[in-house]
Structure formats: structure tokens, C-alpha cells
């Protein structure tokens, strides 16, 4: 693997931008976590915290969910824009 990639776990997060309300809403597609924030950076930060909290609460889910998504990916989140939606492929620590 190169220095910019690694074999890591990731989760898909669907992000909707509501431009009139100046709000981003993000939903993790693998676990029941939804967050809202004013910017894409803030929604990403809140989502990471919410996912970490979910896995701290439901420890048995962590391995089951994260083992499904282990492939070589860039160390930075991949951003996939599409109209008023943005999909982030978010890197999650494994363990």
C-alpha cells in the first residue's frame, strides 16, 4: 500500500444540503445515526462523534458492521457530490 492508502473500515453516509435552511443533514446508511449541522465540515465532525458513540453503546455491532467494509481506500474521506446531495465515504478506526 502507498502512504496515502491503507486497508481500513468505512461507512457510507448520505448528506443532504437544504440550501434555504442553510442546513446539512447526514444519515449513516449502515447504522441508525442521523445528525444535522450548518456546514459540511461540522456535519462530518458530528457524524464521527455520533458513530463513535453508537459503537461505544452497542459494542457487539462494531466488529460486525466494520468488517463488512474493509478495502484499500484513501486516508481522506472521499466526497461524491450529486445535486443537493453529497455522499461521504468516511474512514472509521478499526478495532
pLDDT tens digit sequence for 54-92: 999 998 888 888 877 666 655 566 777 777 887 777 666
Whether the predicted pLDDT of 1 surpasses 50:
no
Among candidates 41, 55, 60, 58, which has minimal Cα distance to 93?
A: 55
What domain count does the chain have? 1
For 68, residues 6+ apart whose C-beta sits below 8 A from its C-beta are: 30
| pLDDT-based confidence at residue 26 (cuts at 50, 70, 90) | very high
Partner residues linked to 28 by β-bridges = 13
- What is the C-alpha to C-alpha distance for residues 65 and 48, in angstroms, rounded to an integer? 15
Q: Which domain holds residue 11?
A: 5-92
Amino acid at each position: 500500500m502507498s502512504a496515502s492508502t491503507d486497508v481500513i473500515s468505512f461507512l457510507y453516509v448520505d448528506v443532504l444540503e437544504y440550501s434555504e435552511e442553510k442546513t446539512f443533514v447526514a444519515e449513516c446508511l449502515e447504522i441508525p445515526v442521523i445528525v444535522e449541522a450548518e456546514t459540511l465540515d461540522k456535519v462530518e465532525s458530528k457524524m464521527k462523534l455520533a458513530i463513535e458513540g453508537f459503537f461505544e453503546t452497542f459494542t457487539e455491532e462494531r466488529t460486525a458492521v466494520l468488517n463488512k467494509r474493509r478495502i484499500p481506500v484513501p486516508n481522506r474521506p472521499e466526497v461524491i457530490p450529486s445535486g443537493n446531495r453529497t455522499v461521504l465515504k468516511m474512514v472509521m478506526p478499526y478495532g
